[in-house]
Amino acid sequence: MKNIDSRGHVRGESIYLDDIPELRGTLHGVAFDSTCAHGIIKNIDYSKAEKLAGVIKIITSKDIPGQNQIGGIFPDEELLAENEIHFWGQPILLIIAESQKIAFKARKLISITVDELPVIVDAREAKAQNKLVMPPRTFKLGEPKNKWKDCEFIFEGIANSNGQEHLYIETQGAYAVPMENDSIRLYSSTQGPTAVQRITAQVLGIPMHKIEVDVTRLGGGFGGKEDQATTWAVMAALGATLLNRPVKVSLHRMDDMRMTGKRHPYSSDYKIGLSKDLKILAYEATFYQNAGAAADLSPAIMERTLFHATNSYFVPNVEVTAYSCKTNLPPNTAFRGFGGPQGMYVIEAAIAHAAHELKISPREIQEKNLLQNGNEFPYGQIADQVEIGNTWKDAKSKFELEKLEKEVAIFNKENKHFKKGISLMPISFGISFTKTVMNHARALVHIYQDGSIGVSTGAVEMGQGVNTKMVQVAASVFSVNANKIKLETTNTTRVANTSPSAASATADLNGKALEIACNALVKRLIETASKHLGIAISDVKIQDEFVYNKNIKTEWDWKKLIETAFLDRVCLSENGHYATPIIHYNKEIEKGHPFAYHVYGTAITVVTVDCIRGRYEIDALKIVHDFGKSMNTIIDRGQVEGAAVQGIGWMTMEEIIYNAKGKLISNALSTYKIPDIYSVPKELLIEQLETQGHELAILKSKAVGEPPLMYGIGAYFAIQNAVKAFNPNYKLKFDAPFTPEKVLMGLYEKE
Amino acid sequence: MINFILNDKLISTDSPQGMTLLDFVRYEKNLTGTKIGCREGDCGACTVLIGELTDGKMEYLSVTSCITPLGNVNGKHVVSIEGLNMSELTPVQQAMVDEAGTQCGFCTVGFVVSFSGLCLSNKAISYEDVISGIDGNICRCTGYKSIERAGERIYNNLKNKDLTNPVKWLVEQHFIPEYFASIPERIKKLEVSTKITEGKIIVGGGTDLYVQKHDEMEEAEINFVSNNKELKGIHIDGKFCTIGAAATVTELLESEELKKVFPNLRKHLKLISSTQIRNIGTIGGNFVNASPIGDLTVFFIALNSSVVLKNKANNERTILLKDLYKGYKNLDKNADEYISRLQFTITDSSTYFNFEKVSKRTHLDIASVNTGISIKIEENKITEINLSAGGVGPIPLYLKNTCVFLKGKTLEMKTITSAMEIIQTEIAPISDARGTEEYKRLLLRQLFFAHFLELFPATFKEEVIV
For residue range A534-548, what is the model confidence (pLDDT) as tens digits? 999 999 999 999 999
Whether A680 and B106 lie within 8 Å, measured CB to CB: no
Rounded Cα–Cα distance for residues B420 and A716 (Å): 31
Which residues in chain A are closer than 8 Å to B148, comparing Cβ atoms?
Answer: 677
Is the CB of residue B39 less than 8 Å from the CB of residue B214? yes
Q: Where are the alpha helices (DSSP H) in A606-739?
A: 633-651, 713-726
Q: Note whether A669 contacts B138, CB cutoff 8 Å.
A: yes
Of A2, A169, A641, Cβ closest to residue B143: A641
CATH 3.30.365.10 domain locations along chain A: 266-434+588-747, 440-579
Who among A9, A169, A740 is closest to B37 (CB)? Answer: A169
Closest CA of chain A from B87, distance in Å: 10
Contacts of A221 in chain B (CB under 8 A): 104
Contacts of B453 in chain A (CB under 8 A): 417, 612
Contact across the interface for A6 and B144, Cβ inside 8 Å = no
Residue A406 touches chain B, beta carbons under 8 Å: no
Chosen for mutation from A169, A414, A613, A622 (greatest number of chain B CBs closer than 10 Å) is: A169
Q: Does A705 touch chain B (CB under 8 A)?
A: no
Roughly what angle, to the nearest 10 degrees, separates helices B437-455 and B413-425? 150
A677/B105 CB distance under 8 A: no
Out of A101, A217, A641, closest to residue B215 by CB = A101
Q: Out of B40, B365, B434, whose CB is closest to A668?
A: B40
Check A642 against B141: CB less than 8 A apart.
yes
Distance of residue A297 Cα from the nearest chain B Cα, in angstroms: 23
Q: What value does the mean pLDDT take over residues A477-486?
A: 98
CB A453 within 8 A of CB A444: no
pLDDT for A751? 84
Mutation for B interface: A676, A679, A719, A749, most B CBs within 10 A: A676
CATH code given to domain A266-434+588-747: 3.30.365.10
Closest CA to B436 of A495, A294, A657: A657
Over residues A77-103, the mean pLDDT reads 98
- What per-residue confidence (pLDDT) applies to A739? 98
Q: In chain A, which residues fall in CATH 3.90.1170.50?
A: 6-118+172-250
Domain covering B1-195 in this structure, CATH number = 3.10.20.30
What is the separation of C-alpha B429 from the centre of its chain, rounded to a whole number of angstroms? 25
Task: Name the minimum distance, in Å, from the CA of B93 to any CA of chain A.
Answer: 6
Q: Which residues of A touch B145 (CB under 8 A)?
A: 641, 680, 684
From CA A432, how far away is CA A439, in angstroms rounded? Answer: 7
pLDDT value of position B194 = 59
- B38, B45, B450: residue with CB nearest A612: B450
Choosing among B103, B208, B216, which should be mutated to test the A contact, i.e. which has the most A CBs within 10 A? B103
Q: Which fold has domain B229-460?
A: 3.30.465
Q: Residue A561: which H helix or E strand, with range?
A: helix A558-567
Residue A706 a catalytic site member? yes
CA atoms within 13 A on the CB side of A522: 22
How far off is chain A from B416, nearest CA to CA, in Å? 14
Chain B environment of A744 (Cβ under 8 Å): 439, 442-443, 446
From residue A695, alpha-carbon distances to A369, A390, A512, A522, A596 in Å are: 27, 19, 11, 21, 9
**Predicted pLDDT of residue B195:** 59
**CB nearest to A9's CB, from B37, B108, B211:** B108
Closest Cα to residue B247, out of B305, B193, B199? B305
The alpha-carbon gap from A178 to the nearest alpha carbon of chain B, in Å, equals 23
A453: helix, coil or strand? strand
pLDDT at B278: 97
How many beta carbons lie within 10 A of that of residue B9, not counting itself? 12
Taking CA–CA distances from B130, the nearest residue in chain A reads A677
Mean pLDDT calculated for residue range B351-360: 97
Residue A252 has pLDDT above 70, yes or no: yes
> Which stretch of A52-56, A721-725, B189-193 has the lowest confidence by average pLDDT?
B189-193
Q: B36 and A18 in contact by Cβ < 8 A?
A: yes
Mean pLDDT of chain B: 95
Short-list B442, B358, B373, CA closest to B406: B373
Tell me the pLDDT band of A690, cut-offs 50, 70 and 90: confident
Residue A452, phi then psi, degrees to nearest 5:
-80, 160
Structural domain spans, chain B: 1-195, 229-460
- From residue A552, alpha-carbon distances to A217, A475, A525, B457 in Å are 42, 21, 17, 78
Q: Which chain B residues contact residue A416 at CB under 8 A?
A: 461-462, 464
- Chain A residues touching residue B142 (CB < 8 angstroms): 638, 641-642, 645
Query: Residue B106: which of A10, A16, A615 has the nearest Cβ?
Result: A16
pLDDT over 70 for what percent of chain B? Answer: 99
> Which tens digits make up the pLDDT trace of B171-226?
999 999 999 999 999 999 998 875 556 778 999 999 999 998 888 899 899 999 98
CB distance from A78 to chain B under 8 Å? no
Q: For domain A6-118+172-250, give the CATH superfamily.
A: Aldehyde oxidase/xanthine dehydrogenase, a/b hammerhead (3.90.1170.50)
Tell me the per-residue pLDDT of A7-30, one tens digit each, with 9 for 90 and over: 999 999 999 999 999 999 999 999
| 8 Å CB contact of A677 and B147 | yes
| CB neighbourhood size of A695 (10 A) | 12
Residues of A in contact with B135 (CB under 8 A): 676-678
* Rounded mean pLDDT, B7-27: 97
> Which of A578, A575, A600 has its CA nearest to residue A506?
A578
- Chain B contact set for A19 (CB, 8 A): 32
Q: How far A136 CA sits from the closest chain B CA (Å)? A: 34
- What is the reported pTM? 0.98
- Would you tell me which residues 670-689 of chain A have a C-beta closer than 8 angstroms to some C-beta of chain B? 670-671, 673-680, 684
Single out the catalytic residue among A50, A706, A741, A751. A706
Return d(Cα A435, Cα A438) in angstroms, integer: 6
Could you tell me which residues are beta bridge partners of residue A319?
A: A140, A284
Per CB-CB distance under 8 Å, the chain A contacts of B359 are 673, 740
Amino acid B414 reads K
Q: Do B433 and A8 touch (CB under 8 A)?
A: no
- Establish if A613 touches chain B: CB-CB under 8 angstroms: yes
Interface of A with B in 216-255 (CB under 8 A): 217-222, 252-254
CB A437 within 8 A of CB A741: no
- Edge-to-edge, what's the strand order for the sheet holding A540-543? A540-543, A546-549, A552-557
**Residues A254/A171, Cβ–Cβ less than 8 Å:** no
Does A256 reach chain B within 8 Å, measured CB to CB?
no
A312 touches chain B (CB under 8 A): no
Instruction: Identify all chain A residues contacting B364, using CB atoms and an 8 Å cutoff.
Output: 676
Given CB atoms, is A537 within the 8 Å cutoff of chain B? no
A592-612 confidence digits (pLDDT tens): 999 999 999 999 999 999 999
* Nearest-angstrom CA–CA distance, A267 and B112: 42
For residue A136, whether the previous peptide bond is cis, meaning omega lies within 30 degrees of 0, is no
Longest dimension (CA), chain B: 69
Question: For residue B43, what are the contacts with CB-CB under 8 A and spacing of at least 6?
Answer: A169, A669, B37, B107, B110, B137, B138
DSSP 8-state class, residue A313 = B
A670 with B366: Cβ contact below 8 A? yes
Q: Look up the CATH number of domain A440-579.
A: 3.30.365.10
> By the CB < 8 Å criterion, does A665 face chain B?
yes
pLDDT digits (tens, 9 = 90+) for A185-220: 999 999 999 999 999 999 999 999 999 999 999 999
Q: A266-274 and A573-579 as β-strands: parallel, antiparallel, unpaired?
A: unpaired
The residues with which A253 forms a beta bridge, in sequence order, are none
